[in-house]
Structures are given as structure tokens and as C-alpha cells.
Structure 1
Amino acid sequence: MAPVATPRVKRIQTISLTLLVTAGVVNYVDRATLAVANPLIRQDLGLSISDMGLLLSAFLWAYAFAQLPAGALSDRLGPRLTLTLGLGCWSLGQMLGGVVTSFWQFVGARIVLGVGEAPHFPTCARVSRDWFNIRQRGTATGIWNCASSLGTFLALPLLTFLMVTFGWRSMFVIMGAAGLVLAGIVYLVFRNPPEVDLTPAERAFLEEGDAPNTDRRVTWHAWQRLFHYRTSWGMIMGYFGCIYMTWLYTAWLPSYLEIERHFTLQKTGIIGAIPFAFGVLGGILGGRIVDILVRRGIDPIRSRKIPMVVGLLATAACTVVAALTPSDTLAIACISASLFLVYVSSSAAWAMASVAAPANCTASLGSMQNFGGYIGGALAPMITGFIVGGTGQFSLAFITGAAIAVVAAIGYWVLIQDPIAAETPAEAFAAGLTPAE
């Protein structure tokens, strides 16, 4: 009979997911503050539109390149400390945004925000690996991953209220203070598995289906070794396409509705939130699909590949229709379907990290995947802006995004075949490590 979760493990799982979703929502609300306060910040600091573009990209580039050390940090320190430090760092960056007086001070604050937020999602993948059975990890991943779309959905009304009520500077400070409080709660409430006196039955439940692995912390050699596998590059390539499509819509949907569809500002605020509500549903359903496929006997790798690839291809098709249709209603429906599908793909991609990597490298591989994704995320607003600026229309920019999604889906399917094997004691010894390291 398969191992089952004890009431204590179920309680820890519920607490863990609650904290991860809450922190994820704060994560995405915090990164939206600059966009919401854009006109007031430009007026108060005397910045141009191009200056604001650089400020927006400062976060994305810092976030992308901080991914690589962030995952290794999480695997070495454990999720409890990493989540606490990350929350504290990005909340400090958020508060600094409320007291800046110049462009370059604001750039520094956005870089601190990006560096602090970098460990969050790789660490969430590690929590899925640590506290959930292999048959549960997809659903758990879908739940915490939906926080990205939920945070985007909530950001506009929440931040607008704070900004109108207290001013844009106080909006930054209030959100930063809330993050610091949450960081303290995470440290006091969350626990890593070694910090809990688990019974043999509980360990058997959590480790069922995992490859045997030592408890060594991730080493430089083990981290570097991940780049030698096709699976790692397939995950990087696939997630590039996934996050490119996400930021195509995140960065440009309001402008698209106003410029291409001639919506009023008020109508854009209402209609523009609808696709992200569908993204929340897609994030949850994507993880659920993964677990259903595993329970039906499909191996863990393919159970992630199928929804990821199908979701990306369908996203591309819906995006092309949205680009070409003259109907506003059909365009909004297709964009909603696109965000639903791209979040299905995102949840499946993050669920891959919990089965494709050795247990002690889960966050490391997840951060490599996220690095590739946010290179795409940083490029999407820039490439779209160049195309729209040159053509005066969004249709070619949407079709370009769709083509990138198709190529990413093909690379994901072809390159990812098998999970990455754990580092053997002989490999560790050859790298100059003792068995205790």
C-alpha cells in the first residue's frame, strides 16, 4: 500500500502553501508598483518615458541574473532562511523606492528588489520537493504558482487605492513594511524537514518515488554539473518562451487595448484585468493536470512535458488569432485563453524542477530555468516596443511572440528526456570533496 500523509504532514503542507501563496502575491504586487505610479513618478522626479523604460528593465535584468546564485543559495541554506532573507531584501528595496530623489537612486532600489525576489520561486520548487509526495507536487506547484497571476490581478486596484489615499511614496513604504512583517512570520512559522522530527512513515511518504540521494548540501561541482545535461537546457529554452509570452501581455496589454483597440482608460482598467483572472485558473489547473497524469501511470517527466508543450503551442495559436481578428470580443477571449494556457505551461514547468533534478539541486535547477525565462521576460517588452514603434501596430509583435513560443515548445519536447542523475560519491571525490561535504 502506498504511504499516506499523516495529519501533521497535511498541516505543514497547508501552512507552507499559505505562506508561499501570500509571499508570491506580495512579490508580484511589489514589482507592479513602478508601473502603477509611472505618471506621478515621472512628474515628481522629472523623468522621461525612456527613463521609465530603463527603470522597468532594471528590475527584470537584476532578477534574471540573480537567479543563478539564488537557487544554489536556497539549496544550501534551506527554504526557511532563504525565503526570510529574500522577503527582507526585496521589502527593503521596495521601501527605498519610496524615499529616492533621483533616477539612479531608483535604479539601485529596483536592483535590490530584483535581487531579493530572485530566490522566491526556485525556493518554492524546493518546498514542493521537500514537503509533498511525488503524486502531489504538481497540484502544490500549481497553487503557489498561481500567486503570480493573482498578484498581478490584485495589484492594480490595491496599489491605486494606496496611491490615491496616501501618495505614491507612502504606497512603496507601506508595501515594503508589509513584506518585512511577512518575512518575520515566515521565519517563525515555516520549518525545513530536518527541523522536524519526522517519523519513518512520514519520511517514506515524502520521499516515495525519488531517486536515492545523500543529504549533502549542493556543492559548486554539483551546481556546475547541471549545465552538462540536455534536460537543463530544455527547461531553460522552454521557460524562455513561457515567460516571454507572459511579459508580452503583462507589459503591453493596457497599451495594446488603448492603442490597437481604442479602449478608454476606464475600460482598459476593467477589461485588462480579465485575462489575468484566467491566468489564476490556468496556474492551478496546470499543476492538477500534472498530478492526474502521474496517477494514470504516465512517468513524472512526460507528465510535465505534455501540458507544458501543449499549453505553449495553444498559447501561440490563440495569440495569432488575437493579432489578426478585427473583433474586440474575440481578441479579449483569445488573450484570456492565452494567459490561461501560458500559466498551465508555467505550473507544469515548475513542477518539472521537482522531479528532473536530484533532491539537493531542486532549487538550483529551478533557478536556472527561471534565469532563462526572465531573459525572455526582459526581452519581451523591448522587442515588442521596437516592433510597435516601427510598425505602429501590435500584430507583428504578437506573431513574433507566438513564433518564439512554438520554438520553445519544440526545444522543450526534444531536449528533455530523462531526469538528471544525482552526483555519485566517486564524482564528489574526484571534485576534491569529502563525503561529509
Structure 2
Amino acid sequence: MLGLQKATPRLKSVQLAALAMLVGAGVINYIDRATLAVANPLIREDLGLSIADMGYLLSAFLWAYAFSQLPTGAMVDKVGPRILLSLGLSLWSVAQLLGGLVQGFGQFFGARLLLGIGEAPQFPTGARVVRDWFNQRDRGLATGIFNCASSLGTAIAVPLLTFLMLAFGWRTMFVVMGAAGLAMAAVWYLVYRNPTELALTPEENAYRTQGDPPGQRTKVTFREWKLLFRFRTTWGMIFGYFGCIYLTWIYTAWLPGYLEIERHMSVKYTGWAAAVPFACGVVGGVLGGYIADILVRRGVEPLKSRRYPAAIALLGTAACTVAAAYVSSNALAIAFISASLFLVYVTSTCAWALSSVAVPTNCTASIGAVQNFGGYLGGALAPTVTGLIVQTTGSFVPALVVGALIGVISAASYLFVVDQPITAADMDSMSLPGTTLKAGATNTEIP
């Protein structure tokens, strides 16, 4: 029997460089998302925009990002991470540069749409890179490392962007971040290589693929992409991630406002208080991947090692969100919110790690992007639904309870809808006329 393969020193160098660049790009990604929110008052004053106009600008990114996921994942699987992330980084960085040059609402709206489209390849690329360069038993922690960029970027965005804005103006802030993204795009293109672009040894290829089903393809077809939607596992991942990102964006969009309006904290204190929970999210994101790897090494099936922690952590997030809503102490509220973000990033990492074991290799970025589409439908709805509830009731408590209920439903999706891995044989069988898969087979078809 073939023993466990280990990564060679060259593979370890490739892995380290890839993860470092993914984290760097991800941090820039999330800082860029925050530029409009940080500069909101100054932009409204300079351009003569209303609060409603700012709401449209903030939502433009989220909807463009969500719907761009559907084609982007398949493009990553077909063209490869090196080209797609280079193009995505370049596009979103140009959009940031344009944000510093706009003269009115229409131009800004277009720039925000471009930002959402350009940022779409970031996390599907990360999922494919991990699948390409890491053994199955090592993919969870690697996923946690690249995924922690989302909470890390959010944690440092406000202090960094505030400094740039106060020191140089909001337009320069946009231009500086755009230039940083273009530099990152150049680094990624010059340094990163797809596995097919390197002469790998048999031992290196054995490490990368050991434990994966045999006969893996390298590129996805449109037929295979469409077939993903005929499996319950795909829909379970979509609905599960909806609640994860819904809860994440309640806090991302409304945490400072919640602390000021509901908890009556000063603006000065709010900035630091809001950063603490997202710092906890960094730890949760990395730990979620580590847990998945430990479970695999102890003999748990790879899919279960992801979906069970994802569901349990999401239930914990819901419970802590309700607790934060009802406690009277501000310190306890911050503690429960920190626990919520710690746990929701455990779920996020496990969800992305699912994409590396739930489908054939050539569909990794595709399933990750489809899942992310579902998540960011929730992300796009969360700020609006929360705002409407607060406006109607005069309190954040019902809005947080609604978010918790959505989290519970999504946790149930991971537990009861996500089924078995989708194999290449499943997909080939589904393409035959009159063929369906029954419950209890390798996977279960959605009619």
C-alpha cells in the first residue's frame, strides 16, 4: 500500500508563496470594499449625494459581486488561477483608481460595479489553488489561511483608510489602494504558476493527488458546470453559505452603527470596539481549517470533516448573536459579538474547504463560486433588511434575532441537505438520457 506522501521542499515553497500572495490580495480586496463606507460623509459632501444615493452605491458592489460569481468560478477552472486572478486584481484596482477620479453619481456607480466584477475571482481562485497544490489532508488549514484575509482586511481597513483619508484626502485614498492592487496583480502574475506550468516529479504529483478520486480532469466544461445544479450537495452549500454571509454582513455593514445607536458608545471608542470582533474572526478562520484537517487525519470522511463543523459553528453564531442582542452590558455584548464572528469565520473556512472535496478537481472553483453566489445574495440582503427592521422597530434586537434564525436554517442545510461528494462518475451518469440517481447512490439528484 502506498504510504502517505509528503510535500517536497519545492512544493512547500510554492505553497507558502501562493498562500502569502492570496492573503495579500485578499486583504487588499477587503480594504477596497471598505473605502466607500469610510469616506461616506466626505464623498456625499463633495459630490452632493444623498444618503439614498450612498445606499445605491454600497449595494452596487454587492449585487455585481454576487452575480459575477456564477461565470467566474467556471472561468477559473477553465483558464487557471494565474490568469484569472491577475485579470481580476487588475480590473478591481482600475475601478478603485477610477473611484478617486469620479465627478458624479453615475461614474461612481459604474466604478462600484466594476469593483464587484473584478473582485469575483479572488476566493474561487483560492479554493482552486489549495486544491491544486495541497494534499487532501492539508487543505483545511490552507483554506483557513487564505480565507482569514477577509476578516484581517476588515479589521485593519478602518484605521488604515481613515489615516490615508485624513492625511491625503479621500480621492488619494482610492488612488493609493488602486495602485497597491495593480502592484499585487503584477506580483501574482510573475510569481504564481499553475501545476501544468511546472515540471513536477512523480513524487510531487503523488502528494498533490493522493486521496482524490482517480481519473480527475483538469478543465471544466459548460455541461459539467450546469450539471452541478442537479445535485442536492450543491444546493445545500448554497443555502448553507447564504446564512453564513448574511450574518457576516450584518456585522460588517452595521456593527459601528449598532454600537453607536443601540449601545450609545462614542465614535472614538466604537472604532476600536468594532475592530476586536473581526480580529477574533481571523483566529476563527484559521482554526476552522485546522479542525477540518485534524478530523480528516483521524479518519473522518473529508466532506463530513467540513460540513459538521460548519453547521455547529453556525448554530453557535446564531446563539451568540441572540445573546449579544439581549445582554445589557456593553462589555458582554462585545464579547458575544466577538464569539459570533469567531464562529462565523469557522463556518466560512469550512464552507470554502468543502469546495475542495465536494466535487471533481476540475469543478473546484466552479462550486466555490456557486456557493459564494448564494452567500452574497445573503450578503446583499443583510444590510437592507437590517436597516428596514431597525427603521420600523427602532431597535436592532429584532434584526439580530432574524439573522440568528436565518443562521439556524442555514446550519440545517449543512446538516441535512449537503449529502455525498459529487464524483466525475456521477456527472457522467447524469449526462446520459433518462438517467437519474436515486437516494442512497453516490449522490442524490435534484429533479
- Tell me the TM-score range normalised by the shorter chain: over 0.9
Q: Report the Cα distance in structure 1 between the residues aligned to 2:431 and 2:412, rounded to whole angstroms.
A: 37
SS in 1 for 2:332: helix
**Contact 1:222–1:423 under 8 Å retained in 2:** no
Decide which of 394, 397, 408 is 1:406's aligned counterpart. Answer: 408
Residue number among 77, 101, 104 corresponding to 2:103 in the alignment: 101
- Aligned residue among 186, 207, 219 for 1:205: 207
Structure 1: distance between partners of 2:427 and 2:417:
27
Query: Hey, what does 2:340 align to over in structure 1?
Result: 338
Task: Write out per-residue CA displacement over residues 265-307 of structure 1, whole angstroms, 9 at most, x where no aligned residue.
Answer: 0010111111001000000100000001111110101100111
Q: TM-score, normalised by structure 1?
A: 0.97
Corresponding residue number in structure 2 for 1:367: 369
Partner of 2:379: 377
Asked whether 1:163 is paired with 2:165, we answer yes
Distance, in Å, in 2 between the alignment partners of 1:98 and 1:429 is: 49
In the alignment, does 2:65 pair up with 1:63?
A: yes
Check whether the contact 1:45–1:102 (CA below 8 A) recurs between aligned residues: yes
The answer (yes or no) to whether the contact 1:213–1:358 under 8 Å persists in 2 is no
Match for residue 195 of structure 2?
193
Inter-partner Cα distance in structure 1 for 2:255 and 2:428: 52
| CA–CA distance in structure 1, aligned partners of residues 278 and 235 of structure 2 | 29
Please state if 1:273 is matched with 2:275.
yes
Amino acid corresponding to residue 69 of structure 1 in structure 2 = P
Please tell me whether the aligned partners of residues 308 and 414 of structure 2 are also in contact (alpha carbons under 8 angstroms).
no
Shift of 1:422: 1.1
One-letter amino acid of the structure 1 residue matched with residue 318 of structure 2:
A
Aligned counterpart, 2:48: 46
Match runs of 1:313-328 below 5 Å: 313-328=315-330
Query: Is the CA contact 2:227–2:427 (under 8 Å) kept in the aligned structure 1?
Result: no
Partner of 1:140: 142
Partners of 2:377 and 2:385 in 1: CA distance: 12
Equivalent of 2:27 in 22, 25, 28: 25
Partner secondary structure for residue 340 of structure 2 = helix
Maintained 8 Å contact 1:122/1:366: yes
* Counterpart for residue 2 of structure 1: 4
| TM-superposed deviation, 1:158 | 0.8
In 2: Cα distance, 1:291 partner to 1:365 partner = 20
CA distance in 2, matches of 1:130, 1:261: 46
Name the SS of the counterpart of 2:286 in structure 1: helix
Q: In 2, Cα distance between the equivalents of 1:281 and 1:230?
A: 31
| Cα-to-partner distance string for 1:401-430 (whole Å, 9 max, x where unaligned) | 000000000011111121011157966996
| Per-residue CA distance 1:107-155 (angstroms, 9 max, x = gap) | 1000000000001101100001000000100000000000000000110
Aligned residue among 383, 389, 392 for 1:390: 392
Distance 2:427 2:256 in 1: 54
Does the 8 A contact of 2:86 with 2:185 survive in 1?
Answer: yes
Which residue number in structure 2 is paired with residue 435 of structure 1?
none
Output the CA distance in 1 between the equivalents of 2:396 and 2:425: 47
Equivalent position of 1:287 in the other structure: 289
In the alignment, structure 2 segments of 5+ residues that lack a partner are: 434-447
What percent identity do the matched residue pairs reach? 62
Take 1:53 and 1:389, find their aligned partners in 2: how far apart are those partners? 15
Partner of 1:434: none
The match for 2:299 is 297
Separation (CA, whole Å) in 1 of partners of 2:430 and 2:384:
43
> Which secondary structure does the structure 2 equivalent of 1:224 belong to?
helix
Provide the residue aligned with 1:129 in structure 2.
131
Task: For 2:165, give the aligned amino acid.
Answer: M
CA RMSD of aligned residues (A): 1.3
Name the counterpart of 1:116: 118
Q: Which residue of 1 aligns with 2:75?
A: 73
> Aligned AA for 1:407?
I
Match of 1:354 in 2: 356
Q: 2:358–2:421: 8 Å Cα contact kept in structure 1?
A: yes
Letter in 2 for 1:373: G
Q: For residue 213 of structure 1, report the CA deviation from its aligned partner.
A: 2.9
Residue in structure 2 matching 1:247, options 249, 252, 257: 249
Q: 2:440 maps to what in 1?
A: none
Letter in 2 for 1:345: T
Counterpart of 2:102 in 1: which secondary structure? coil
- In 1, Cα distance between the equivalents of 2:153 and 2:253? 14
Contiguous gaps of at least 5 residues in structure 1: 432-437
Match of 2:229 in 1: 227
Q: How big is the shift at 1:215?
A: 3.1
**Alignment: residue pair count:** 431
Q: Which region of structure 1 is more displaced relative to structure 2, 205-214 or 47-56?
A: 205-214
SS of the residue corresponding to residue 297 of structure 1 reads coil
Contact between 2:144 and 2:289, CA under 8 Å: does it hold in 1? yes
Deviation of 1:217 (Å): 1.6
Aligned residues of 2:224 and 2:427 also touching (Cα < 8 A)? no
1:425 and 1:172, CA in 2 relative to 1: closer, same or farther beyond 3 A?
A: closer
